[in-house]
């Protein structure tokens, strides 16, 4: 009888330990990139992007050092960055890519963030004079499909590294950008009352948010231009890169073709 009691106790103890481990796992996902939100086919695309990021010449020199450094920083940062792919055309808050904070750690040790890439919008992006930046840079020009994904990933990684390296910036993004967006979303719902914010206060918040977003975009766009230059240069240096970057069935997508779609307003904003 006593023996059976001991066995039951041990079993219950084991269950408690297992449950605790699951809770910890839920509370603290692994650090670096977490791809568990990707489907099997998405994972293949992600691996192709990874191969582009780490492509190097015969001497082991990276073709895309900026992109690779940003990637490696995230992997070793101690923060979690979930990867998600969106395949819906024209989702307003994710034109090509999006970086958001899912959980802010006040100690700055383990933030949880997410990078979303809208593959459909990237595929359909208009590339031409209308999307030329003041610096002369035209996003995506000269790049194949998966290389464009890598460019957008680079833009979002630039946001990730710039924001996650400063606790103050993470706090600002969480409080000023994301909370303001939530307030705007719930403007006409009951939840607005919970915020207890006046119209004037909300307008001030939106103005501050837009100024912060402008500064963040400026930084990410500069990095994206450098990444685009490396992608184009790497492609020129390694004529084998197309077979690395593209599936055989996608060959017609490769090259310097410019794809036009009727609505240029789908592009440019990341
Ligand atoms: Zn951006």
Beta bridge partners of 80: 32, 112
Summary mean pLDDT of the chain: 82
Q: Ligand 1: distance of its center to the CA of 219 in Å?
A: 9
Q: Ligand 1: distance of its center to the CA of 165 in Å?
A: 16
Burial 211-248 (b: 16+ CB within 10 A, else e): ebeeebeeebbebbbbbbebbbebbeeeeebbeebbee
Q: What percent of the chain is modeled with pLDDT above 90?
A: 60
Q: Ligand 1: distance of its center to the CA of 94 in Å?
A: 10
pLDDT of 134: 87
* Nearest residue to 224 (alpha-carbon basis) of 67, 87, 33: 67
Q: Which helix (H) or strand (E) holds 101?
A: strand 97-103
Q: Ligand 1: distance of its center to the CA of 121 in Å?
A: 15
Q: Ligand 1: distance of its center to the CA of 17 in Å?
A: 42
Q: Ligand 1: distance of its center to the CA of 217 in Å?
A: 5
What pTM, to 2 d.p., does this model score? 0.77
Q: Ligand 1: distance of its center to the CA of 116 in Å?
A: 11
Indicate if the pLDDT at residue 10 is higher than 80. no
- Alpha helices per DSSP H over 54-112: 65-75
Per the model's pLDDT, the better-predicted residue between 5 and 245 turns out to be 5
Q: Ligand 1: distance of its center to the CA of 190 in Å?
A: 31
Q: Ligand 1: distance of its center to the CA of 159 in Å?
A: 7
Q: Ligand 1: distance of its center to the CA of 59 in Å?
A: 33
Q: How many domains does the chain have?
A: 1
- Residue 3 inside a domain? The answer is no
- Residue 39 inside a domain? The answer is yes
Q: Ligand 1: distance of its center to the CA of 74 in Å?
A: 17
pLDDT of 67: 98
Question: Please, which pLDDT band fits residue 47 given cuts at 50, 70 and 90?
Answer: very high
* Nearest residue to 181 (alpha-carbon basis) of 117, 267, 101: 101
Q: Ligand 1: distance of its center to the CA of 113 in Å?
A: 14
- Residue 136 inside a domain? The answer is yes
Residue 72 CB: number of other CB atoms within 10 A? Answer: 13
Q: Ligand 1: distance of its center to the CA of 220 in Å?
A: 6
Q: Ligand 1: distance of its center to the CA of 134 in Å?
A: 16
- Residue 109 inside a domain? The answer is yes
- Residue 216 inside a domain? The answer is no
* pLDDT tens-digit readout, 134-178: 888 999 999 999 999 999 999 999 999 999 999 999 999 999 999
- Residue 51 inside a domain? The answer is yes
Question: Please, which pLDDT band fits residue 257 given cuts at 50, 70 and 90?
Answer: very low
* pLDDT tens-digit readout, 80-90: 999 999 988 86
Domain containing 83 equals 29-166+227-266
State how far the Cα of 16 lies from the Cα of 137, in Å rounded to an integer. 57
Indicate if the pLDDT at residue 201 is higher than 80. yes
Per the model's pLDDT, the better-predicted residue between 75 and 185 turns out to be 75
Indicate if the pLDDT at residue 130 is higher than 80. yes
Q: Ligand 1: distance of its center to the CA of 206 in Å?
A: 17
Phi, then psi, of 82 in degrees rounded to 5: -70, 145
Indicate if the pLDDT at residue 97 is higher than 80. yes
The answer to which of 122-131, 194-203, 218-227 has the lowest mean pLDDT is: 194-203
Which residues, 6+ apart, have CB-to-CB distance to 120 below 8 Å? 86, 87, 88, 89
Contact 76, 32 (CB under 8 A): yes
- Residue 37 inside a domain? The answer is yes
Indicate if the pLDDT at residue 95 is higher than 50. yes
- Residue 158 inside a domain? The answer is yes
Residue with tokens 């330990």, as numbered in its chain? 17
Residue with tokens 């395949």, as numbered in its chain? 87
**Pairing between strand 97-103 and 32-34?**
unpaired
Contact 160, 99 (CB under 8 A): yes
pLDDT of 237: 81
């Amino acid at each position: 009888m006593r023996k059976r009691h001991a066995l039951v106790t041990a079993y219950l103890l084991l269950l408690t330990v297992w449950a605790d481990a699951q809770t910890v796992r839920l509370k603290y996902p692994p650090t670096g990139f977490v791809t568990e939100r990707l489907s099997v086919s998405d994972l293949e695309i992600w691996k192709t992007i990874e191969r582009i990021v780490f492509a190097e010449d015969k001497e082991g020199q990276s073709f895309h050092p900026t992109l690779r450094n940003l990637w490696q920083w995230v992997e070793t940062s101690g923060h979690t960055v979930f990867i998600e792919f969106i395949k819906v055309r024209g989702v307003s808050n994710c034109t090509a890519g999006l970086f958001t904070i899912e959980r802010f750690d006040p100690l700055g040790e383990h933030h949880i963030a997410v990078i979303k890439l809208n593959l459909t919008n990237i595929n359909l992006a208009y590339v031409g004079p209308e999307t030329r930046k003041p610096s002369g840079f035209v996003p995506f020009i000269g790049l194949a499909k998966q290389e464009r994904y890598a460019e957008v990933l680079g833009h979002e990684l630039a946001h990730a590294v710039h924001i996650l390296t400063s606790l103050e910036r993470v706090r600002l993004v969480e409080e000023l950008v994301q909370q303001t967006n939530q307030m705007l979303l719930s403007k006409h719902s009951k939840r607005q009352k919970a915020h207890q914010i006046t119209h004037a206060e909300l307008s001030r918040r939106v103005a501050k948010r837009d100024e912060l977003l402008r500064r963040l975009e400026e930084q990410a766009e500069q990095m994206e231009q450098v990444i685009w230059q490396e992608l184009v240069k790497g492609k020129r240096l390694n004529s084998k890169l197309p077979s690395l970057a593209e599936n055989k069935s996608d060959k017609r997508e490769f090259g310097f073709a410019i794809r036009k779609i009727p609505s240029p307003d789908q592009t440019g904003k990341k």
